[in-house]
C-alpha cells in the first residue's frame, strides 16, 4: 500500500493492484518510496525542501503525461510537476502527491530556417543552448545551465539575452499542454490565445506543459563574456563603474554585479579564497570586436585579482556559474525589481555584503531594461516592464543547524533594501515562505485576467502545487 494525499487533503491508500494498473498505462518507470531512483526524483535543488511524494511517474512522453493526469483525476490525487527542480520554494515536489517527473523528456528539435526550437518540457537550459548553437542560434534563457526550461519560462525568464529580446516568454512561439481534463492542446497566438497569454508568466496553473517552441536569434558561437573581480575594498569605485556602464550599455551588453566571499575558483588567487570580493559579470552577445571594446573599461579598471572576461563559446558562458549553484545546498533568497541603482542602495549593498555569514552567499544586481520595457505591461502576465535590475539577496549554506543565521542575514538585508524596489518582484525567485501577496506583487495587474483563464481551463484548481491563482 502507498499512502497518498487527495485534492481535499485526505489520506488514501493506493493498493498494489491500483499501482500496477498505473504501471500498465505508462511507458516510463513508476516509482514508490521503496524504489531506486525515487530519492533522485523527489529531491530538488534546494536542500531546505524535504518532501515525499507518494508516487513518481518518470514521463517518457506526452502519452505518459496524459495517463498520469487521468490517473490523478480518477483517484482525486494531488499532483505535482517537476521540470529541472530548481524552484527555490520547492514547488516541484509535494508530500503525498503523484509527481510527474518530466526529466526524461529532454529532446530538442531546431528548425534552422524558421529559427524556432521545439524543446520538451524536461529540458535543462543547457540542452537547448547546446542544440541551438550547432546552428549559431540561441533562445532567450537564464544564467545557469542546470535550470529547468519549463519553470523558468512559465514564470517569465531572463538571462544574458533579455536586454535584446525581452523576457523569455516574449520569445515563446507556442506551448503544447495537457489540460486538467487530460486533453493535449496547443497554445499560441492563433490557438487558445487566452491560455497562451496565461502561460507566459502565470506558471504551471493551467496544465502540464509537454513542449515549448522558442523563437531563436543569431548569437555566437563566440561571445565576449566572463567575470572580473576585485577585493571588496574596491567596491565603492567598482559599483560606481557598474552603475555608469550599465546605465549606458547597448542592448547587446548585459552586466551583473555581485559581492560575496571569493569562491575557491582556479582563476582567483588562493590567498583570496574566502575573502570578500566585488565582481562584474558581463556578456556581450553581439560582434566580439564590439564586445571587446564594450568591456574594456571593466578589464582596465583598478587592479583586478582575477579576470576571465574573454572571448569564449556562448555555451561555455552559459555554464560558467554552474559550479557556484550546486544541487543539495540550503538556499534562501529575497528579491526585488529595481528601476535604477542609487548610490544610497550601493551603500547598503556593500554593508550587507560585509555581513555575509557563509562562504557561498552573495548579493547580486542583475541587469534588465531595454527590450523588456518596449512592450506594453499587459503583453503578458510577467509585466514589470519598468524593471531595469533585479536585486537578489542569495543566502546559501551547508548545514541545517545554521539555517536561522543565514536566513536572518538575508531577511535583514532585504528589509533594509526593499524601499528601493519598484514594488514588483520576480515570481521565480520567491521563497517557500512568501505567500499570495508576493505572488500578486510579482504578477502586478495581470491577476484578474489570470483568475478568469484559470476558471476556464482549471475550474477545480487541479493544478495547485505552484504560485496558485484561485479560479474565477
Ligand X SMILES: Cc1cc2nc3c(=O)[nH]c(=O)nc-3n(C[C@H](O)[C@H](O)[C@H](O)COP(=O)(O)OP(=O)(O)OC[C@H]3O[C@@H](n4cnc5c(N)ncnc54)[C@H](O)[C@@H]3O)c2cc1C
Judged by CB under 6 A, does residue 381 bind ligand X?
no
Length of the chain in residues, anyone? 472
- In the block, cell 516592464 appears at 385
In 3D space, the residue among 285, 266, 262 whose CA is nearest the CA of residue 274 turns out to be 262
158 binds ligand X per the rule CB under 6 A: yes
Q: What backbone phi and psi angles, to 5 degrees, belong to 67?
A: -65, -40
Nearer to ligand X among residue 239 and residue 320 (C-beta): 320
Choice from 28, 83, 166, 174 touching ligand X (CB under 6 A): 83
When the beta carbons of 83 and 424 are compared against ligand X, the nearer one is 83
Residues 232, 236, 241, CA angle at the centre, nearest 5°? Answer: 110
Q: Where are the alpha helices (DSSP H) in 172-254?
A: 193-199, 235-248
Quote the CA–CA distance of 157 and 428 in Å, as a whole number: 8
- The 427-456 site mask, x for binding ligand X (CB under 6 A), equals -x----------------------------
Q: How far apart are CA 367 and CA 378, in angstroms?
A: 21
Task: Provide the minimum distance between the beta carbon of 64 and ligand X in the complex, in angstroms, as a whole number.
Answer: 12
For the window 40-79, what string marks contact with ligand X as x by the rule CB under 6 A?
A: ----xx----------------------------------
Kindly report the CA angle at 85 between 466 and 111, in degrees rounded to 5? 95
- Residue 142 CB coordination number (10 Å): 23
Query: For ligand X, how many residues bind (rule: CB under 6 A)?
Result: 35
Q: CA torsion 187→192→194→198, rounded to 10°? A: -20
User: Can the peptide bond before residue 348 be classed as cis, meaning omega within 30 degrees of 0?
Assistant: no
Q: Which is nearer to ligand X, 290 or 432 (CB)?
A: 432
Residue window 162-191: x/- pattern of binding to ligand X, with contact defined by CB under 6 A: ------------------------------
**Among residues 68, 151, 211, 306, which is the contact residue for ligand X, using CB under 6 A?**
151
152 interacts with ligand X by CB under 6 A = yes
By CB under 6 A, residue 318 contacts ligand X: no
CA 31, 33, 38, 42 dihedral sign is positive
Q: Which of 145, 147, 179, 384 binds ligand X (CB under 6 A)?
A: 147
Considering only the stretches 32-40, 137-145, 352-360, 431-439, report the one whose residues sit in contact with ligand X under the rule CB under 6 A. 137-145
Q: What distance in Å separates the CA atoms of residue 26 and residue 58, rounded to the nearest whole number? A: 9
d(CA 26, CA 65): 8
Sole window of 14-22, 47-55, 81-89, 112-120 interacting with ligand X (rule: CB under 6 A): 81-89
CB 168, min distance to ligand X, A: 7
Write out the residues near ligand X by the rule CB under 6 A. Answer: 44-45, 81-88, 91-92, 102, 121, 142-144, 147-148, 150-152, 154-155, 157-159, 203-204, 208-209, 325, 428, 465-466
Amino acid at each position: 500500500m502507498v499512502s497518498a494525499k487527495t485534492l481535499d487533503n485526505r489520506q488514501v491508500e493506493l493498493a498494489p493492484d491500483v499501482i500496477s494498473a498505473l504501471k500498465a498505462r505508462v511507458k516510463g518507470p513508476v516509482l514508490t518510496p521503496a524504489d531506486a531512483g525515487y530519492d533522485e526524483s523527489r529531491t530538488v535543488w534546494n536542500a531546505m525542501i524535504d518532501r515525499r511524494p507518494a508516487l513518481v511517474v518518470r514521463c517518457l512522453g506526452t502519452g505518459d503525461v496524459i495517463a498520469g493526469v487521468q490517473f490523478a483525476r480518477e483517484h482525486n490525487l494531488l499532483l505535482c510537476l517537476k521540470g529541472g527542480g530548481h524552484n527555490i520554494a520547492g514547488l516541484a515536489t509535494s508530500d503525498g502527491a503523484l509527481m510527474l517527473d518530466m526529466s526524461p523528456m529532454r529532446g530538442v528539435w531546431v528548425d534552422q530556417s524558421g529559427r524556432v526550437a521545439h524543446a520538451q518540457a524536461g529540458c535543462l537550459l543547457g540542452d537547448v543552448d547546446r542544440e541551438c548553437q550547432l546552428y549559431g542560434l540561441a533562445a532567450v534563457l537564464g544564467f545557469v545551465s542546470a535550470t529547468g526550461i519549463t519553470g523558468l519560462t512559465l514564470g517569465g525568464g531572463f538571462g544574458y539575452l533579455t536586454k535584446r529580446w525581452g523576457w523569455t516568454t516574449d520569445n515563446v512561439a507556442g506551448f503544447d499542454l495537457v489540460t486538467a481534463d487530460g486533453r493535449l492542446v496547443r497554445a499560441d497566438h492563433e490557438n487558445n490565445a487566452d491560455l497562451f497569454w496565461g502561460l507566459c508568466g502565470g506558471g504551471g496553473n493551467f496544465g502540464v506543459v509537454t513542449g515549448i517552441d522558442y523563437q531563436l536569434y543569431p548569437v555566437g558561437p563566440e561571445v565576449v563574456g566572463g567575470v572580473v573581480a576585485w577585493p571588496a575594498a574596491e567596491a565603492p569605485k567598482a559599483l560606481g563603474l557598474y552603475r555608469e556602464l550599465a546605465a549606458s550599455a547597448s542592448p547587446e551588453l548585459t552586466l551583473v554585479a555581485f559581492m560575496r566571499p571569493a569562491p575557491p575558483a582556479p582563476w582567483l588567487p588562493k590567498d583570496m579564497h574566502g575573502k570578500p570580493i566585488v565582481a562584474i559579470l558581463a556578456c556581450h552577445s553581439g560582434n566580439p570586436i564590439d564586445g571587446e571594446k564594450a568591456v574594456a573599461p571593466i578589464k582596465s579598471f583598478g587592479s583586478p585579482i582575477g579576470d576571465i572576461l574573454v572571448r569564449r563559446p556562448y555555451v561555455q558562458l552559459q555554464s560558467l556559474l554552474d559550479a557556484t549553484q550546486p544541487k543539495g545546498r540550503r538556499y534562501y533568497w529575497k528579491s526585488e525589481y529595481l528601476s535604477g541603482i542609487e548610490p544610497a542602495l550601493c551603500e547598503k549593498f556593500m554593508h550587507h555584503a560585509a555581513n555575509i555569514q557563509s562562504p557561498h552567499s552573495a548579493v547580486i544586481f542583475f541587469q534588465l531594461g531595454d527590450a523588456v520595457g518596449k512592450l506594453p505591461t499587459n503583453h503578458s502576465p510577467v509585466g514589470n516592464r519598468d524593471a531595469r535590475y533585479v536585486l537578489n539577496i542569495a543566502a546559501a549554506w551547508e548545514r541545517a543547524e545554521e539555517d536561522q543565521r543565514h536566513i536572518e542575514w538575508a531577511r535583514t538585508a532585504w528589509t533594509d533594501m526593499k524601499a528601493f524596489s519598484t514594488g514588483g518582484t520576480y515570481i521565480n525567485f520567491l521563497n517557500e515562505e512568501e505567500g499570495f501577496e508576493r505572488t500578486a506583487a510579482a504578477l502586478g495587474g495581470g491577476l484578474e485576467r489570470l483568475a478568469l483563464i484559470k476558471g476556464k481551463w482549471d475550474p477545480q484548481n487541479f493544478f495547485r502545487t505552484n504560485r496558485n491563482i484561485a479560479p474565477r
